[in-house]
Amino acid sequence: MCVYQIVYVIINLSCVKAILAHLSLFKKGIIVSRYLLFIILIFSAINPALADSGVHVEITDGNKMLETVNKEIVNINTQQLKEILDKDPSAILIDVRTRDEIVQLGTIRRGHNHNIVRGWLEFQIGEHALSKDTPIIVYCGLNLRSPLATKTLMDMGYTNVKNYADGYFKWKEAGLPVTVSDKSLKNALYSLPIKVAEGVYSAIGATQPTTYENGNHNNNLSFVVTTDGVLVFNAGGSYLLAEAMHEEIKKVTDQPVKHVVFENAQGHAILGAKYWKDHNVNIIAHELTLKEIVENGDNILSRADRRLRDKIVGSVITQPDQTFKDGLTITMGDTVIELLHLGASHSPDDVQLWLPAQKLLISGDSTFNERLLPILKHTDSQGWIETWDKIEALEPNIIIPGHGAPTDLATTTKFTKDYLVYMRSEIEKVLDDDGGLNDAYAIDQSQYHDWDTYNELYRQNASRLFKQMEFE
């Protein structure tokens, strides 16, 4: 035994005797905090000495630990991961990288995917894996953290845990779907405008909820170039977004922007209006949009301000210059543009832009693609299905939806009408069986599991549809 250890034992014995000696003082109500403080100071002085004395637990090399762990866990490759995700909607895919890494580099775009930083894994996994035999696959970027995280879950008692050994970068290199927080890092826009048809362009927004990274560009911002000016559909979700959009328009044409149309009264459609007003652009909206702005504009701006912080600078609630009820036809040069209000859909004030010569529909939030649509408190789901008949009657060749890439009628029907019909049918079964809200939550929506925003919206949609249909 070394000198330090002998001293440590002596002091420990002395401390025990001191504590025992002073126990009687407690009984007499005498305060002994100064004695306890003295004991703590002794230990504080001794512990560093012990640390320097050479009494150490052997340090394990990280690479050796990783080598050992990899012999104890199940590793899978990209093909195996894809097969699991394709076949099993109940599987949980855990990305243990930091939020900053995901913002900069992206993450796997599958409905199974969740981000739990490795340091919080033990505390948050229970929110996603509800039983010990839940299929769990863990991954990171370079297969350094995920094997250790996999072993941790096994040690916690989870029995069906695998490690995706190829890692995120191999998935991305294979051309498989990824979610990127911002596609144009040097621009306020989430993505730059693309040409959809002759004279028609759209900057496709993130198919995600509003985040600081996407800057409230999570809807589609479109514009039509004519021989007599430009019409923009959606003002953008902030002053900075509107400014960035205008700069992109200038790269396409020298024609001035003459009109901006609000698709509805949501923040990502209206909060850029001040920029366009400053540039003497005529702002057009449905009369119900104006009503919503007057009644709730401050709340709309306040919600955006909490999420966007400095990115909302310059944005001011701005009312439209011109409103319409059923429809409005605008002729710009040789281009006829029809603004429509086909009926109830995502919001009661949703409007659409129709180009009859090209049979192209900029639908606003009446149609969706790539992501799960939201049922809002004011959404009339049955009315939306009835409105769909009018959309079909147009026989559009191209649709620029409110969310997601430009596509065709069949695709937007799948992501919009078919989903509404299915959910209403399932809710009706619940109500016919005198079921409750928990039964609505239990409706099988697994066929939509890989749609963007599924995890954020599927329970909300079931709840709101149930509550609405109870009183129909």
Domain of 369: which CATH number? 3.60.15.10
> What pLDDT is stored for residue 186 in this prediction?
84
Q: Are residues 196 and 312 in the same domain?
A: yes
28 vs 150, which has greater pLDDT?
Answer: 150
What's the predicted TM-score (pTM) here?
A: 0.81
> What pLDDT is stored for residue 12 in this prediction?
45
Helix axes 454-469, 417-432, angle to 10 degrees: 50
1 vs 214, which has greater pLDDT?
Answer: 214
Is residue 66 very low, low, confident or very high in pLDDT (cuts 50, 70, 90)? very high
160 vs 59, which has greater pLDDT?
Answer: 160
Residue 52 has pLDDT above 60, yes or no: no
Output the six-digit token pair for 370: 């790539």
Residue 49 has pLDDT above 60, yes or no: no
> What pLDDT is stored for residue 316 in this prediction?
93
Mean pLDDT of 431-439: 95
> What pLDDT is stored for residue 28 in this prediction?
39
> What pLDDT is stored for residue 23 in this prediction?
38
> What pLDDT is stored for residue 471 in this prediction?
87
Is residue 200 very low, low, confident or very high in pLDDT (cuts 50, 70, 90)? very high
Contact 300, 382 (CB under 8 A): no
Residue 56 has pLDDT above 70, yes or no: no
Mean pLDDT of 103-113: 92
Contact 321, 235 (CB under 8 A): no
46 vs 443, which has greater pLDDT?
Answer: 443
Is residue 17 very low, low, confident or very high in pLDDT (cuts 50, 70, 90)? very low
194 vs 13, which has greater pLDDT?
Answer: 194
Q: Are residues 154 and 133 in the same domain?
A: yes
Residue 382 lies in a domain: yes
User: How far, in Å, CA of 248 to CA of 193, rounded?
Assistant: 7
Residue 2 has pLDDT above 70, yes or no: no
Residue 468 lies in a domain: yes
Q: What are phi and psi of 229, to 5 degrees?
A: 110, 180
**To the nearest whole percent, how much of the chain has pLDDT over 70?**
88
Residue 385 lies in a domain: yes
Q: Are residues 145 and 121 in the same domain?
A: yes
Mean pLDDT of 362-367: 97
Residue 257 has pLDDT above 50, yes or no: yes
Q: Are residues 289 and 367 in the same domain?
A: no
Q: Are residues 44 and 174 in the same domain?
A: no
Residue 38 has pLDDT above 50, yes or no: no
273 vs 31, which has greater pLDDT?
Answer: 273
Residue 63 lies in a domain: no
Domain with 18 in it: 3-52
Q: Are residues 226 and 350 in the same domain?
A: no
> What pLDDT is stored for residue 6 in this prediction?
42
> What pLDDT is stored for residue 42 in this prediction?
46
Is residue 419 very low, low, confident or very high in pLDDT (cuts 50, 70, 90)? very high
Q: Are residues 201 and 332 in the same domain?
A: yes
Q: Are residues 265 and 408 in the same domain?
A: no
> What pLDDT is stored for residue 185 in this prediction?
79
Q: Are residues 376 and 293 in the same domain?
A: no
What is the side-by-side order of every strand in the sheet holding 335-340?
327-332, 335-340, 352-355, 360-368, 398-403
> How many domains, the chain?
4
User: How far, in Å, CA of 323 to CA of 229, rounded?
Assistant: 20
Is residue 46 very low, low, confident or very high in pLDDT (cuts 50, 70, 90)? very low
Helix (H) or strand (E) holding 384: helix 381-394
Q: Are residues 124 and 209 in the same domain?
A: no
Q: Are residues 42 and 91 in the same domain?
A: no
Residue 165 lies in a domain: yes
Residue 91 has pLDDT above 70, yes or no: yes
User: How far, in Å, CA of 161 to CA of 152, rounded?
Assistant: 10
Is residue 20 very low, low, confident or very high in pLDDT (cuts 50, 70, 90)? very low
Mean pLDDT of 78-86: 96
Residue 60 lies in a domain: no
Mean pLDDT of 331-357: 96
> What pLDDT is stored for residue 31 in this prediction?
41
Q: Which of 102, 112, 17 is nearest to 451 (CA)?
A: 112
12 vs 212, which has greater pLDDT?
Answer: 212
User: How far, in Å, CA of 411 to CA of 307, rounded?
Assistant: 31
Residue 286 has pLDDT above 70, yes or no: yes
Q: How far is residue 61 CA from its own chain's centroid?
A: 38
The residues with which 163 forms a beta bridge, in sequence order, are: 75, 138
Residue 202 has pLDDT above 70, yes or no: yes
Residue 62 lies in a domain: no
> What pLDDT is stored for residue 57 in this prediction?
58
Q: Is 216 exposed, middle or buried (0-12, 13-18, 19+ CB in 10 A)?
A: buried
Q: How far is residue 135 CA from its own chain's centroid?
A: 23
